[in-house]
């Protein structure tokens, strides 16, 4: 049997850091309120001349170096993002050109915060089918450009970043299974009100931003993340006690804590990075994976469950041996 296995990881965060103290000068909020409600202490904000693809490129270079692969080795690029540079061409082709990669399939997936999980699941199928030998998978966002900085309920949450992985075939178990889901009936709870075929500019408004009904999102997110984790474990006849690490979407510390409690996992088994960069949407899971690997907590052979939940609603999980 052919498995797909992560051979290297990388991440990139913009240089500019926006602290909670700085946000106190922008909107009516406080460091204590933000930390208590979200767990976020700081977030990175892209510079004016930075694009989502430029973040992707830096994260990709880091992952390629970690995996010891060159541009000519890569035969597939899949990127999860909701904030591409352009409507078209798709962002993966921009990254492809910048990395001097030519001819291979390159496309993006839009599944909000679940974008990386959807992208990795797609690549897993390509590799298992024998159609890819070395894939680049990225989750990236410059989501602060979608934020209404006058809306204190959302502007404190989000930050920019990119995380990347190199995936190769392996005879030894790597990705054991992936599980994806979505339900559009929850659209009104979390969405961005303009788009290419609807309204590129919202009529009659001075500012456009992410619309979120936080309490409702919290309830559905915790329930769904618990369910998709159990689905992955059941599909592989495993118990949650066998997990070495849970890597959840870094949306909000309270959601992470509630999900861990639902799974009866101690927080010592959860990779938490939300305090350092806020909710980076599709970038959060691969960046957290990279943090855990590079600081030595995550080791080869360990059982890892990655999961995410985002606007749509979309959700998904990846159970793997690192």
Q: Which residues are catalytic?
A: 113, 249, 279
Put residue 74 in one of left, alpha, beta given phi > 0 → left and psi -120 to 50 → alpha: beta
Distance in Å from the first CA to the final CA of the chain: 17
The contacts of residue 113 (CB under 8 Å, 6+ apart) are 249, 251, 279, 281, 282, 284, 308, 309, 310, 311, 314
Pairing of strands 175-182, 314-321: antiparallel
On the CB side of 111, CA atoms within 13 Å amount to: 26
Burial (CB < 10 A; 0-12, 13-18, 19+), residue 69, is middle
Beta-bridged to residue 136, according to DSSP, are 77, 166
Rounded CA gap, 2 and 24, in Å? Answer: 52
Q: What angle do CA 159, 195, 313 make, to 5 degrees?
A: 65
Nearest to 290 by CA among 269, 306, 303, 278: 306
């Amino acid at each position: 049997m052919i498995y797909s296995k992560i051979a290297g990881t990388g991440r990139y965060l913009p240089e500019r850091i926006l602290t909670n103290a700085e946000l106190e000068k922008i909107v009516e909020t406080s460091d204590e309120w933000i930390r208590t409600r979200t767990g976020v202490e700081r977030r990175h904000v892209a510079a004016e001349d930075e694009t989502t693809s430029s973040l992707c490129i830096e994260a990709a270079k880091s992952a390629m170096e970690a995996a010891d692969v060159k541009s000519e080795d890569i035969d597939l690029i899949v990127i999860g993002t909701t904030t591409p540079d352009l409507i078209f061409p798709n962002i993966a082709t921009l990254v492809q050109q910048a990395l001097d990669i030519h001819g291979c399939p390159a496309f993006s997936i839009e599944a909000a915060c679940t974008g990386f999980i959807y992208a990795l699941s797609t690549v897993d199928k390509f590799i298992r089918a024998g159609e890819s030998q070395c894939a680049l998978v990225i989750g990236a966002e410059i989501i602060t450009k979608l934020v209404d900085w006058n809306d204190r309920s959302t502007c404190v949450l989000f930050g920019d970043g990119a995380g990347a992985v190199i995936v190769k075939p392996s005879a030894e178990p790597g990705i054991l299974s992936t599980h994806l889901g979505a339900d559009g009936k929850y659209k009104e709870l979390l969405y961005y009100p303009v788009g290419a075929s609807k309204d590129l500019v919202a009529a009659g408004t001075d500012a456009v931003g992410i619309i979120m009904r936080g309490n409702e999102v919290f309830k559905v997110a915790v329930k769904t993340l618990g369910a998709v984790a159990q689905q992955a474990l059941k599909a592989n006849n495993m118990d949650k006690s066998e997990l070495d690490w849970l890597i959840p979407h870094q949306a909000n510390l309270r959601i992470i804590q509630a999900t861990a409690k639902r799974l009866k996992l101690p927080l010592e088994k959860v990779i938490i990075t939300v305090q350092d960069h806020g909710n980076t949407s599709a970038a959060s899971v691969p960046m957290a994976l990279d943090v855990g690997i590079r600081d030595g907590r995550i080791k080869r052979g360990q059982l890892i469950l990655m999961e995410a939940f985002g606007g749509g609603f979309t959700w998904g999980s990846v159970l793997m041996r690192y």
